[in-house]
Amino acid sequence: MFVCICRGVTEHQVEVAIESGATTVEAVSQACRAGGDCGACHGTIEAMIDDDFERRACTAGAGRLPLIHERARGVELPPAKRLSKRPEGAGAPTLS
């Protein structure tokens, strides 16, 4: 799915930018160009950042999620965990 039609940036490209440390729309735009034109995708990018932030916070066992303005001040998160690939016929993927 395309997140940014103006720049032709896909959801996967935005996810990679976020997983690489982009925590604002501006940082995502610098990393993959999404959101650098008309701005219609800014809400989607912010939602993707929030989803990633929540996933990392839940993985770390945090009791409360920092707000967007707190993230801008540099609230740190643990690195993202990735699902390991599973061999054919194996059970569910595991976190690594």
Domain residue ranges in the chain: 2-72
Task: Note if the pTM is more than 0.85.
Answer: no
pLDDT at 7: 95
Task: Give CATH superfamily name and number for 2-72.
Answer: BFD-like [2Fe-2S]-binding domain (1.10.10.1100)
Tens of pLDDT along the chain (96 residues) come to 999 999 999 999 999 999 999 999 999 999 999 999 999 999 999 999 999 988 887 766 555 555 555 555 555 555 555 555 555 555 555 554
Q: What is the 3-state secondary structure (H, E, C) of the chain?
A: CEEECCCCEEHHHHHHHHHCCCCCHHHHHHHHCCCCCCCCCHHHHHHHHHHHHHHHHHHHCCCCCCCHHHHHCCCCCCCCCCECCCCCCCCCCCEC
Q: Are 1 and 11 in contact (CB under 8 A)?
A: yes
pLDDT at 54: 84
Six token digits for residue 93: 């993927």
Cα 47 to Cα 78: distance, rounded to the nearest angstrom: 19
22, 36, 67 from 74: Cα distances, Å: 11, 22, 11
